[in-house]
Amino acid sequence: RTEALDEEVMQAIYESGCRAITFSPESGSKKSLKMIKKRVKLDRLINSVKAAVKVGHTTRINFVIGFPHETILDCLKTIIFGIYSTFRFGVSDINFAIFTPYPGSELFEKLKTGKKFKMDDTYFKKLIVQFDVTKGYSYCEHVSGRMLVFLRVLGFSLSYITIYLSRPVRIFKFIKNLFQKEFFANNLLEQRIYDM
């Protein structure tokens, strides 16, 4: 629970040797949080994120767009919240995933009962959509798979631009880090550049 992670706890975690924290509120839309029954209060999350960054943690936030009930506006609220977190609080990485119904989840059962998919090879191939930003399948009534791909790429692009332009020192740290004996990526973009 993010509410438990205040500055004192973040400092203790940091001193124990943990240097990276990932938060997973799933959405920046209060409506979506309520619909998916994620008991996250965004104001408390913000306080925990600020504390993590202040202490020195490499901080990441994971989001999901395209829940079955969402509209484009709900997806945009999540993307804007992610970009705001990079600009205002200094978050190091943002991940935008496209919703996929995982077996055992309440939404999986609801979609399966509503015959929104079949349990076949195609379903299992769709589960790995997160690893390819050019593909998107939609279980969302109001947003197409193609639009979700566009929104995801938009979210990633604007977040990474904001991460580096709001704190240009990160560009120099990354370049310096490339030539170190042991490389440490502060985000997925840095890891992909290093891998290439």
At position 147, the amino acid (one-letter code) is: M
Task: Give me the chain's average pLDDT, please.
Answer: 91
pLDDT at 118: 82
pLDDT digits (tens, 9 = 90+) for 98-152: 998 888 888 988 888 888 888 888 888 777 777 778 888 889 989 999 999 999 9
* pLDDT for the residue numbered 3: 66
d(CA 130, CA 136): 8
For residue 194, list its beta bridge partners. Answer: none
Of 3 and 102, the structure prediction assigns the larger pLDDT to 102
**What is the C-alpha separation between 67 and 143, in angstroms, rounded?**
9
Is 108:123 a contact under the CB 8 Å cutoff?
Answer: no
| Percentage of the chain lying above the pLDDT 70 cut | 98
Q: How do residues 32-41 score in pLDDT, each as one tens digit?
A: 999 998 988 8
Task: Report which of residues 92 and 137 the model is more confident about.
Answer: 92
Indicate the pTM of the whole model. Answer: 0.90
Quote the pLDDT of residue 143: 95
Strands annotated E in 3-120? 20-26, 58-65, 93-98
Q: Which residues pair with 26 in a beta bridge?
A: 63
Question: Are residues 36 and 74 in contact, defined by beta-carbon separation less than 8 angstroms?
Answer: no
